[in-house]
Amino acid sequence: MRGKLIVISGPSGVGKSTVLKRVMEQYDNLQFSVSATTRPIRPGEVDGVNYIFLNHDQFRQLIEEDQLLEYAEYVGNFYGTPVAPLEKALEEGKDILLDIEVQGALQVRKKFPDAILMFLMAPSLQIVEQRLRNRGDTAPELMKQRIERARWECSQADHYDYIIINETVETAANEVISVITAEKCKTKDRLPMFKED
Amino acid sequence: MRGKLIVISGPSGVGKSTVLKRVMEQYDNLQFSVSATTRPIRPGEVDGVNYIFLNHDQFRQLIEEDQLLEYAEYVGNFYGTPVAPLEKALEEGKDILLDIEVQGALQVRKKFPDAILMFLMAPSLQIVEQRLRNRGDTAPELMKQRIERARWECSQADHYDYIIINETVETAANEVISVITAEKCKTKDRLPMFKED
Protein backbone atom coordinates (compact mmCIF):
# COMPACT_ATOMS: atom_id res chain seq x y z
CA MET A 1 0.00 0.00 0.00
CA ARG A 2 1.15 3.54 -0.77
CA GLY A 3 2.76 5.26 2.23
CA LYS A 4 1.35 8.23 4.12
CA LEU A 5 2.71 11.73 3.77
CA ILE A 6 2.76 13.21 7.26
CA VAL A 7 3.36 16.93 7.62
CA ILE A 8 4.28 18.37 11.00
CA SER A 9 4.59 22.08 11.74
CA GLY A 10 4.89 23.98 14.95
CA PRO A 11 6.16 27.32 16.18
CA SER A 12 9.83 27.74 16.98
CA GLY A 13 10.36 26.87 20.65
CA VAL A 14 7.65 24.21 20.86
CA GLY A 15 10.13 21.33 21.13
CA LYS A 16 9.35 19.80 17.75
CA SER A 17 12.71 18.16 17.03
CA THR A 18 12.71 16.37 20.41
CA VAL A 19 9.21 15.03 19.86
CA LEU A 20 9.96 13.91 16.29
CA LYS A 21 13.14 12.16 17.44
CA ARG A 22 11.04 10.17 19.92
CA VAL A 23 8.46 9.38 17.24
CA MET A 24 11.17 8.05 14.91
CA GLU A 25 12.52 5.83 17.71
CA GLN A 26 9.12 4.34 18.47
CA TYR A 27 7.47 3.97 15.07
CA ASP A 28 8.89 1.83 12.29
CA ASN A 29 8.45 2.40 8.57
CA LEU A 30 8.72 6.15 8.99
CA GLN A 31 11.43 8.23 7.41
CA PHE A 32 12.24 11.90 7.39
CA SER A 33 12.04 13.81 4.18
CA VAL A 34 15.27 15.78 3.99
CA SER A 35 14.63 19.41 3.11
CA ALA A 36 16.86 21.68 1.09
CA THR A 37 17.80 25.01 2.66
CA THR A 38 19.94 28.08 2.08
CA ARG A 39 20.48 28.73 5.78
CA PRO A 40 24.05 28.23 7.06
CA ILE A 41 24.93 24.81 8.44
CA ARG A 42 25.07 24.74 12.27
CA PRO A 43 27.62 22.90 14.42
CA GLY A 44 26.70 19.22 14.64
CA GLU A 45 24.54 19.24 11.50
CA VAL A 46 25.35 16.99 8.56
CA ASP A 47 24.72 17.95 4.93
CA GLY A 48 22.23 15.52 3.37
CA VAL A 49 21.04 14.31 6.79
CA ASN A 50 19.68 17.37 8.63
CA TYR A 51 19.26 19.36 5.44
CA ILE A 52 20.58 19.51 1.94
CA PHE A 53 22.54 22.77 2.27
CA LEU A 54 22.44 24.87 -0.91
CA ASN A 55 23.42 28.40 -1.86
CA HIS A 56 20.77 30.76 -3.20
CA ASP A 57 21.66 30.09 -6.85
CA GLN A 58 21.34 26.33 -6.41
CA PHE A 59 18.03 26.74 -4.62
CA ARG A 60 16.68 29.04 -7.34
CA GLN A 61 17.54 26.42 -9.94
CA LEU A 62 15.41 23.79 -8.13
CA ILE A 63 12.51 26.27 -8.12
CA GLU A 64 12.91 27.03 -11.83
CA GLU A 65 13.03 23.32 -12.71
CA ASP A 66 9.85 22.74 -10.63
CA GLN A 67 11.63 20.12 -8.53
CA LEU A 68 10.23 21.31 -5.20
CA LEU A 69 7.01 20.12 -3.61
CA GLU A 70 6.92 23.33 -1.61
CA TYR A 71 9.31 26.03 -0.58
CA ALA A 72 9.19 29.01 1.71
CA GLU A 73 11.28 31.83 3.07
CA TYR A 74 11.80 32.00 6.83
CA VAL A 75 13.79 34.79 8.50
CA GLY A 76 15.79 35.48 5.34
CA ASN A 77 16.47 31.88 4.27
CA PHE A 78 14.79 29.44 1.90
CA TYR A 79 13.55 25.95 2.81
CA GLY A 80 12.05 23.45 0.37
CA THR A 81 11.17 19.80 -0.26
CA PRO A 82 12.61 18.05 -3.33
CA VAL A 83 9.67 16.08 -4.77
CA ALA A 84 11.24 13.16 -6.64
CA PRO A 85 12.72 11.18 -3.71
CA LEU A 86 9.56 11.76 -1.68
CA GLU A 87 7.24 10.42 -4.38
CA LYS A 88 9.48 7.37 -4.84
CA ALA A 89 9.43 6.53 -1.11
CA LEU A 90 5.62 6.87 -0.88
CA GLU A 91 5.22 4.53 -3.86
CA GLU A 92 7.45 2.01 -2.06
CA GLY A 93 5.00 2.10 0.86
CA LYS A 94 7.13 4.14 3.24
CA ASP A 95 5.55 6.75 5.46
CA ILE A 96 7.28 10.08 5.09
CA LEU A 97 7.53 12.72 7.77
CA LEU A 98 7.80 16.28 6.54
CA ASP A 99 8.93 18.78 9.17
CA ILE A 100 8.04 22.09 7.54
CA GLU A 101 6.59 25.43 8.45
CA VAL A 102 3.07 26.65 7.86
CA GLN A 103 3.35 28.16 4.37
CA GLY A 104 4.99 24.98 3.09
CA ALA A 105 2.43 22.73 4.77
CA LEU A 106 -0.43 24.55 3.07
CA GLN A 107 1.31 24.17 -0.31
CA VAL A 108 1.67 20.42 0.35
CA ARG A 109 -2.03 20.13 1.19
CA LYS A 110 -2.87 21.51 -2.27
CA LYS A 111 -0.59 19.08 -4.12
CA PHE A 112 -1.21 16.04 -1.86
CA PRO A 113 -4.81 16.30 -0.60
CA ASP A 114 -4.33 13.00 1.31
CA ALA A 115 -1.40 14.37 3.32
CA ILE A 116 -1.97 14.27 7.09
CA LEU A 117 -1.31 17.69 8.60
CA MET A 118 -0.38 17.93 12.28
CA PHE A 119 0.38 21.11 14.19
CA LEU A 120 2.52 20.75 17.32
CA MET A 121 1.57 23.17 20.09
CA ALA A 122 2.81 23.82 23.60
CA PRO A 123 0.08 23.52 26.23
CA SER A 124 -0.49 27.29 25.81
CA LEU A 125 0.58 30.19 23.60
CA GLN A 126 2.28 31.81 26.63
CA ILE A 127 4.57 28.81 27.00
CA VAL A 128 5.68 29.11 23.35
CA GLU A 129 6.63 32.76 23.86
CA GLN A 130 8.33 32.05 27.18
CA ARG A 131 10.47 29.32 25.61
CA LEU A 132 11.55 31.64 22.80
CA ARG A 133 12.47 34.37 25.29
CA ASN A 134 14.40 31.91 27.47
CA ARG A 135 16.64 30.84 24.63
CA GLY A 136 18.73 33.97 25.15
CA ASP A 137 20.91 33.29 22.10
CA THR A 138 19.19 35.85 19.92
CA ALA A 139 19.41 39.59 19.31
CA PRO A 140 16.31 41.47 20.64
CA GLU A 141 15.10 42.46 17.15
CA LEU A 142 15.35 38.88 15.84
CA MET A 143 13.66 37.64 19.04
CA LYS A 144 10.74 40.00 18.46
CA GLN A 145 10.52 38.84 14.84
CA ARG A 146 10.46 35.18 15.97
CA ILE A 147 7.71 35.79 18.52
CA GLU A 148 5.59 37.60 15.93
CA ARG A 149 6.21 34.70 13.58
CA ALA A 150 5.25 32.12 16.25
CA ARG A 151 2.00 34.01 16.94
CA TRP A 152 1.13 34.03 13.25
CA GLU A 153 1.96 30.33 12.90
CA CYS A 154 -0.31 29.40 15.82
CA SER A 155 -3.11 31.39 14.21
CA GLN A 156 -2.83 29.05 11.20
CA ALA A 157 -3.39 25.85 13.20
CA ASP A 158 -6.99 25.67 12.03
CA HIS A 159 -5.76 24.63 8.57
CA TYR A 160 -4.32 21.43 10.07
CA ASP A 161 -6.09 18.09 10.57
CA TYR A 162 -4.73 17.49 14.06
CA ILE A 163 -3.27 19.55 16.88
CA ILE A 164 -0.68 17.68 18.94
CA ILE A 165 -0.03 19.09 22.42
CA ASN A 166 3.52 18.87 23.73
CA GLU A 167 2.56 18.30 27.35
CA THR A 168 5.48 15.86 27.65
CA VAL A 169 7.66 14.30 24.97
CA GLU A 170 6.00 10.94 25.70
CA THR A 171 2.40 12.15 25.39
CA ALA A 172 3.15 14.18 22.26
CA ALA A 173 5.02 11.31 20.55
CA ASN A 174 2.17 8.97 21.50
CA GLU A 175 -0.35 11.35 19.94
CA VAL A 176 1.64 11.59 16.70
CA ILE A 177 2.01 7.81 16.46
CA SER A 178 -1.68 7.30 17.30
CA VAL A 179 -2.70 9.65 14.49
CA ILE A 180 -0.56 7.77 11.95
CA THR A 181 -1.88 4.40 13.20
CA ALA A 182 -5.48 5.62 13.12
CA GLU A 183 -5.16 7.09 9.63
CA LYS A 184 -4.03 3.67 8.39
CA CYS A 185 -7.19 2.11 9.87
CA LYS A 186 -9.52 4.38 7.92
CA THR A 187 -12.13 2.44 5.99
CA LYS A 188 -11.16 3.83 2.58
CA ASP A 189 -7.63 2.45 3.05
CA ARG A 190 -8.60 -0.85 4.63
CA LEU A 191 -11.69 -1.91 2.73
CA PRO A 192 -9.79 -2.86 -0.45
CA MET A 193 -7.95 -5.52 1.63
CA PHE A 194 -11.23 -7.44 2.03
CA LYS A 195 -12.61 -7.07 -1.48
CA GLU A 196 -10.39 -9.84 -2.83
CA ASP A 197 -11.54 -12.37 -0.23
CA MET B 1 -14.86 18.44 27.17
CA ARG B 2 -17.74 16.23 26.10
CA GLY B 3 -16.77 12.56 25.82
CA LYS B 4 -16.61 10.53 22.65
CA LEU B 5 -19.19 7.97 21.67
CA ILE B 6 -17.30 5.01 20.24
CA VAL B 7 -19.27 2.33 18.43
CA ILE B 8 -17.67 -1.04 17.73
CA SER B 9 -19.25 -3.77 15.66
CA GLY B 10 -17.90 -6.94 14.22
CA PRO B 11 -19.15 -10.29 13.02
CA SER B 12 -19.71 -13.07 15.52
CA GLY B 13 -16.49 -15.06 15.86
CA VAL B 14 -14.13 -12.14 15.27
CA GLY B 15 -12.93 -12.05 18.89
CA LYS B 16 -14.52 -8.73 19.77
CA SER B 17 -15.04 -9.25 23.49
CA THR B 18 -11.38 -10.25 24.01
CA VAL B 19 -10.15 -7.17 22.13
CA LEU B 20 -12.51 -4.83 23.99
CA LYS B 21 -11.46 -6.29 27.35
CA ARG B 22 -7.85 -5.47 26.46
CA VAL B 23 -8.83 -1.96 25.35
CA MET B 24 -10.63 -1.33 28.66
CA GLU B 25 -7.54 -2.50 30.59
CA GLN B 26 -5.21 -0.18 28.68
CA TYR B 27 -7.23 2.98 28.17
CA ASP B 28 -8.58 5.06 31.02
CA ASN B 29 -11.69 7.22 30.95
CA LEU B 30 -13.54 4.64 28.84
CA GLN B 31 -16.67 2.88 30.00
CA PHE B 32 -18.97 0.36 28.43
CA SER B 33 -22.51 1.30 27.66
CA VAL B 34 -24.61 -1.53 29.04
CA SER B 35 -27.18 -2.73 26.53
CA ALA B 36 -30.62 -4.06 27.27
CA THR B 37 -31.53 -7.42 25.75
CA THR B 38 -34.26 -10.05 25.71
CA ARG B 39 -31.87 -12.94 25.12
CA PRO B 40 -31.51 -15.43 27.99
CA ILE B 41 -28.74 -14.80 30.49
CA ARG B 42 -25.72 -17.11 29.98
CA PRO B 43 -23.69 -18.79 32.72
CA GLY B 44 -21.20 -16.28 34.18
CA GLU B 45 -23.10 -13.21 32.97
CA VAL B 46 -24.35 -10.63 35.45
CA ASP B 47 -27.57 -8.64 35.00
CA GLY B 48 -26.78 -4.91 34.76
CA VAL B 49 -23.11 -5.60 33.96
CA ASN B 50 -23.03 -7.69 30.78
CA TYR B 51 -26.54 -6.69 29.79
CA ILE B 52 -29.72 -5.44 31.33
CA PHE B 53 -31.80 -8.59 30.86
CA LEU B 54 -35.45 -7.86 30.08
CA ASN B 55 -38.44 -9.84 28.91
CA HIS B 56 -40.14 -8.90 25.65
CA ASP B 57 -42.85 -6.82 27.35
CA GLN B 58 -40.31 -4.77 29.28
CA PHE B 59 -38.27 -4.21 26.14
CA ARG B 60 -41.34 -3.16 24.18
CA GLN B 61 -42.13 -0.57 26.83
CA LEU B 62 -38.67 1.03 26.43
CA ILE B 63 -39.29 1.26 22.68
CA GLU B 64 -42.73 2.82 23.16
CA GLU B 65 -41.36 5.39 25.63
CA ASP B 66 -38.58 6.28 23.13
CA GLN B 67 -35.93 5.50 25.72
CA LEU B 68 -33.63 3.62 23.35
CA LEU B 69 -30.87 5.17 21.25
CA GLU B 70 -31.09 2.18 18.95
CA TYR B 71 -32.43 -1.32 19.04
CA ALA B 72 -32.29 -4.32 16.78
CA GLU B 73 -33.35 -7.91 16.49
CA TYR B 74 -30.65 -10.54 16.17
CA VAL B 75 -31.42 -14.26 15.79
CA GLY B 76 -34.80 -13.89 17.51
CA ASN B 77 -33.80 -11.58 20.36
CA PHE B 78 -33.84 -7.81 20.88
CA TYR B 79 -30.84 -5.68 21.82
CA GLY B 80 -30.94 -1.95 22.56
CA THR B 81 -29.14 1.01 24.15
CA PRO B 82 -30.92 3.05 26.84
CA VAL B 83 -30.17 6.67 25.93
CA ALA B 84 -30.39 8.57 29.26
CA PRO B 85 -27.36 7.11 31.11
CA LEU B 86 -25.28 7.34 27.93
CA GLU B 87 -26.05 11.04 27.37
CA LYS B 88 -25.27 11.80 31.02
CA ALA B 89 -21.86 10.06 30.86
CA LEU B 90 -20.88 11.88 27.64
CA GLU B 91 -21.79 15.23 29.22
CA GLU B 92 -19.55 14.33 32.17
CA GLY B 93 -16.66 13.92 29.72
CA LYS B 94 -16.52 10.13 29.78
CA ASP B 95 -15.81 8.20 26.61
CA ILE B 96 -18.43 5.54 26.02
CA LEU B 97 -17.88 2.29 24.19
CA LEU B 98 -20.94 0.85 22.48
CA ASP B 99 -20.57 -2.78 21.45
CA ILE B 100 -23.47 -3.21 19.04
CA GLU B 101 -24.26 -4.86 15.76
CA VAL B 102 -24.49 -3.21 12.36
CA GLN B 103 -28.17 -2.13 12.28
CA GLY B 104 -27.79 -0.49 15.68
CA ALA B 105 -24.55 1.23 14.71
CA LEU B 106 -26.16 2.83 11.67
CA GLN B 107 -29.04 4.09 13.83
CA VAL B 108 -26.51 5.63 16.24
CA ARG B 109 -24.73 7.38 13.36
CA LYS B 110 -27.98 9.14 12.47
CA LYS B 111 -28.67 10.35 16.01
CA PHE B 112 -25.02 11.07 16.96
CA PRO B 113 -23.22 12.19 13.77
CA ASP B 114 -20.01 12.67 15.82
CA ALA B 115 -19.96 9.04 16.95
CA ILE B 116 -16.80 7.17 15.92
CA LEU B 117 -17.71 3.93 14.16
CA MET B 118 -15.19 1.07 14.12
CA PHE B 119 -15.68 -2.32 12.51
CA LEU B 120 -13.60 -5.18 13.90
CA MET B 121 -12.54 -7.68 11.26
CA ALA B 122 -10.50 -10.85 11.24
CA PRO B 123 -7.54 -10.72 8.84
CA SER B 124 -9.86 -12.29 6.21
CA LEU B 125 -13.50 -13.24 5.70
CA GLN B 126 -12.48 -16.92 5.56
CA ILE B 127 -11.09 -16.71 9.09
CA VAL B 128 -14.40 -15.32 10.40
CA GLU B 129 -16.31 -18.24 8.88
CA GLN B 130 -13.76 -20.79 10.09
CA ARG B 131 -14.03 -19.51 13.66
CA LEU B 132 -17.82 -19.75 13.58
CA ARG B 133 -17.65 -23.33 12.25
CA ASN B 134 -15.08 -24.31 14.89
CA ARG B 135 -17.30 -23.27 17.78
CA GLY B 136 -19.22 -26.54 17.45
CA ASP B 137 -21.78 -25.56 20.07
CA THR B 138 -24.46 -24.71 17.56
CA ALA B 139 -27.09 -26.63 15.61
CA PRO B 140 -26.30 -26.76 11.84
CA GLU B 141 -29.25 -24.55 10.89
CA LEU B 142 -28.33 -21.86 13.43
CA MET B 143 -24.69 -22.11 12.30
CA LYS B 144 -25.71 -21.50 8.70
CA GLN B 145 -27.82 -18.54 9.82
CA ARG B 146 -24.86 -17.08 11.75
CA ILE B 147 -22.49 -17.43 8.81
CA GLU B 148 -24.97 -15.71 6.51
CA ARG B 149 -25.35 -13.00 9.10
CA ALA B 150 -21.56 -12.58 9.43
CA ARG B 151 -21.23 -12.25 5.64
CA TRP B 152 -23.89 -9.57 5.57
CA GLU B 153 -22.31 -7.70 8.47
CA CYS B 154 -18.91 -7.65 6.76
CA SER B 155 -20.56 -6.24 3.64
CA GLN B 156 -21.67 -3.25 5.75
CA ALA B 157 -18.16 -2.32 6.88
CA ASP B 158 -18.03 0.52 4.36
CA HIS B 159 -20.48 2.50 6.54
CA TYR B 160 -17.88 2.61 9.32
CA ASP B 161 -15.13 5.22 9.84
CA TYR B 162 -12.42 2.71 10.68
CA ILE B 163 -11.75 -0.98 10.13
CA ILE B 164 -9.76 -2.59 12.95
CA ILE B 165 -7.99 -5.83 12.04
CA ASN B 166 -7.79 -8.50 14.73
CA GLU B 167 -4.38 -9.80 13.72
CA THR B 168 -3.54 -10.23 17.41
CA VAL B 169 -5.33 -8.96 20.50
CA GLU B 170 -2.41 -6.56 21.09
CA THR B 171 -2.41 -5.02 17.59
CA ALA B 172 -6.20 -4.73 17.50
CA ALA B 173 -6.42 -3.12 20.96
CA ASN B 174 -3.60 -0.75 19.96
CA GLU B 175 -5.51 0.24 16.81
CA VAL B 176 -8.71 0.92 18.77
CA ILE B 177 -6.87 3.02 21.36
CA SER B 178 -4.95 4.88 18.62
CA VAL B 179 -8.20 5.80 16.90
CA ILE B 180 -9.70 7.19 20.12
CA THR B 181 -6.49 9.11 20.89
CA ALA B 182 -6.28 10.48 17.34
CA GLU B 183 -9.93 11.55 17.30
CA LYS B 184 -9.28 13.60 20.43
CA CYS B 185 -6.40 15.38 18.64
CA LYS B 186 -8.60 16.57 15.78
CA THR B 187 -8.35 20.29 15.22
CA LYS B 188 -12.05 20.99 15.70
CA ASP B 189 -11.83 19.52 19.22
CA ARG B 190 -8.48 21.01 20.19
CA LEU B 191 -8.57 24.50 18.71
CA PRO B 192 -11.03 25.86 21.29
CA MET B 193 -8.41 25.08 23.99
CA PHE B 194 -6.17 27.80 22.51
CA LYS B 195 -8.76 30.46 21.81
CA GLU B 196 -8.86 31.58 25.45
CA ASP B 197 -5.10 32.14 25.67
- pLDDT band at residue B58, thresholds of 50, 70 and 90? very high
A116 pLDDT exceeds 60? Answer: yes
Is B191 an 8 Å CB contact of chain A?
yes
pTM of the model: 0.86
Residues of B in contact with A175 (CB under 8 A): 181-182, 185
Round to whole Å and give the CA distance between B83 and B95.
14
Pick from B178, B190, B191: CB nearest A182: B178
pLDDT per residue over B130-144, tens digit each? 888 887 667 888 888
To the nearest 10°, the Cα dihedral for B119, B122, B123, B125? -100
**Rounded to a whole number, what is the distance in Å from the CA of A11 to chain B's nearest CA?**
14
Pick from B158, B165, B197: CB nearest A125: B197
Backbone angles phi, psi at B123, to 5 degrees: -60, -20
The answer, yes or no, to whether ipTM is higher than 0.90 is no
Is B14 an 8 Å CB contact of chain A?
no
- pLDDT band at residue B196, thresholds of 50, 70 and 90? low
pLDDT per residue over A55-112, tens digit each? 999 999 999 999 999 998 888 899 999 998 899 999 999 999 998 889 889 989 988 9
Q: Which residue of B has its CA nearest to A160?
A: B187
Give the range with max mean pLDDT: A180-184, A189-193, B70-74. A180-184
**pLDDT mean over B155-167:** 95
Annotate chain B with three-state secondary structure: CCCCEEEEECCCCCCHHHHHHHHHHHCCCEEECCCEECCCCCCCCCECCCEEECCHHHHHHHHHCCCEEEEEEECCEEEEEEHHHHHHHHHCCCEEEEECCHHHHHHHHHHCCCCEEEEEECCCHHHHHHHHHHHCCCCHHHHHHHHHHHHHHHHCHHHCCEEEECCCHHHHHHHHHHHHHHHHCEHHHHCHHHHCC
**Rounded to a whole number, what is the distance in Å from the CA of A118 to chain B's nearest CA?**
9
Residues of B in contact with A187 (CB under 8 A): 119, 157-158, 160-163
To the nearest 10°, the Cα dihedral for A170, A171, A174, A176? -110
B187, B189, B193, B195: best to mutate for the A interface, most A CBs within 10 A? B187
**pLDDT mean over B63-85:** 90
Q: Which residue of B has its CA nearest to A194?
A: B124
Verify whether the Cβ–Cβ distance B179 to A164 is below 8 Å.
no
Is B162 an 8 Å CB contact of chain A?
yes
